[in-house]
């Protein structure tokens, strides 16, 4: 009898917890809409690609393009000008917000509206015997790729660790 009672109690608790877990949102948007906290990774993202601002329920303006060095410098500049530790994400961090079930863009556009379906820089270097480069993440198809530095410009989304 005790086993049956424990089983019923366990099943009741399990069923009570499942709906909460099933509907839990992985992202929390800041009250002003400019930042997104990822509950899985603990990272806080700028909601818009750099050059854009969150306004009227979406990201407006034009996403800026950066060379590899400009991308790194931009994160450092934003950290010192805002007093918030913004930085260029590493490849794992940036790939963590890709949604490969989506295309053009391959990211949740309700959480990250108007994200360009293009390549974004990461801070992760790629070194080969023939060249030095960095890893990129595509928000067109979710691909991750190493790329050599040769003056090309791509987009940037900044990140920071939670407090």
Q: Residue 50's domain spans which residues?
A: 2-161
pTM over 0.85: no
Query: How many structural domains comprise the chain?
Result: 1
32-67 as b/e: b if 16+ CB within 10 A: ebebbebeebebbbbbbbbbbebeeeebeeebebbe
pLDDT given at position 24: 56
Any idea which of 2-6, 43-47, 49-53 has the lowest mean pLDDT? 2-6
């Amino acid at each position: 009898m005790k086993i049956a009672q424990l089983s019923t109690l366990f099943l009741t608790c399990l069923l009570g917890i499942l709906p909460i877990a099933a509907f839990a949102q992985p992202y929390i948007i800041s009250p002003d809409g400019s930042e997104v906290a990822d509950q899985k990774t603990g990272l806080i993202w700028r909601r818009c690609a750099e050059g854009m601002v969150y306004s009227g329920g979406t990201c407006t303006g034009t996403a800026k393009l950066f060379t590899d060095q400009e991308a790194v410098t931009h994160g450092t500049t934003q950290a010192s000008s805002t007093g918030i530790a913004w930085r260029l994400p590493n490849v794992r961090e940036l790939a963590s917000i890709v949604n490969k079930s989506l295309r053009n863009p391959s990211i949740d556009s309700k959480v990250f509206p108007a994200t360009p379906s293009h390549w974004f820089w990461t801070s992760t270097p790629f070194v080969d015997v023939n060249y030095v480069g960095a890893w990129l993440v595509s928000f067109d198809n979710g691909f991750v790729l190493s790329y050599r530095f040769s003056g090309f410009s791509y987009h940037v989304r900044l990140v920071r660790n939670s407090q």
